[in-house]
Chains A and B, each alone.
Chain A
Amino acid sequence: MTDPLDAYSRYAPALLRKCERILASREDAEDIVQTLFGDLLRDGGPLPDFPYLFRAATNRALNRLRDRRRRAALLERHGHAVLGGVVPPVDGRVVHLDLLARLVDQLDPETAEILVLRYLDHLDQQEIADLIGRSRRTVHTRLADIRDRLAALAGEAAP
């Protein structure tokens, strides 16, 4: 596929679902996906494949959560939304938007991406490793760190 507009029509619905799983906001998802394709058009290079776009959308959604002003607006509207969509959570762990935001504050960008790929997109460790170009061992270690932080934050939240 070489036409960016064709690529937008083909891939945007999946990317919108992807961003909505992270942010619980269709409006923000649309803004992110539009901006992503706008940037691709301006760059004028070869069109990336869907897995690349999937990662790009993930990181842009996470960047939105890091943006203090936008995050405040998101949390005000959707802070208690349960993320992830239609299937049970990984490890029985329900992730709300406000919990994800607090985790993102604690994690480096790559680990935050791994968090989303595992807990919201249900990729297994090998699939994550293949997608981000890291070893499975690295992914395993990062996930252990994520689980520890999740447990700590859940403990913080407990009465």
Chain B
Amino acid sequence: MAMGIALQLLFTGLGIGSIYALVALGFVLIYRATNVVNFAQGDFAMLGAFSMVVLCIDMQLPYWLGILITLAAMLVFGALFNFAVYYPLRNRGFQPVIISTIGASLLLENGVLAAYGPRPQTLPGFLSFPGFSVGPIFFDSQYLLILGVTVVMVTLQHFIFERTLLGKKMEATSQDKEMASLLGIPVALMIMLTFMYSSALGALAGILVAPILFVSVGMGSSIALKAFAASIIGGFGDVIGAIVGGLALGVVETFGAAYISVPYKDAFAFIVLVLFLLFRPQGLFGEKVAEKA
């Protein structure tokens, strides 16, 4: 029984953790490209989920088409976001850009509230079966799907950054913009591509999580807070760190809730965050903060 409980908690923790990881990936990519934190990252997830509700519930399109349209629209949205929120302020240091992303986040949430109303929406799961039990453990099919997609996205991302010319250009941009532009890399284009990819990635996280957490205006910001903590634990700016940080956070809070205290579930995530900031500010995989400054 005790073993069964621990395994159940592990599975749920990994499932919820991989949602944090997907959103954290978006944080990390934009941070690497622009050195700013995009506080609207969670709202990309919210937009993706709402888009699915509009396309697949209201307009009755099949899921695959809804997902394709949503992701394509979010690529365009990412480019617009780049031009409206980041580009005009790119030479003003990081504070104006961060405030600009917070403003964008408020605008997006209240815009969707005004357009779609306050009622939370449901999106049925993507798989036809709810899940299956092995002994005392229940495997929720949606969590399995999220875990699977996370693995695929991480592999794909790793391949793009390590093996393709485009990825190497983006990597070079994030490491040293001046040097990259001297080498003839179109820096502004690379940054725009990063915003486009991050926005589609955020939307994908939102689409995946919608059947579990429902679709509401505030859904993105609550996930984003944990994802932000996850990316710091992983070492801000590190892709593998964001994944490990997200998964670890999910597992820690699930076990903490079960064995220590349920009402303090959210606190465990932030206790871990504070411990990391105190004792290992560079995170699990990050380089020394001094080198980045």
Q: Do A and B bind each other?
A: no
Interface positions of A (Cβ within 8 A of B): none
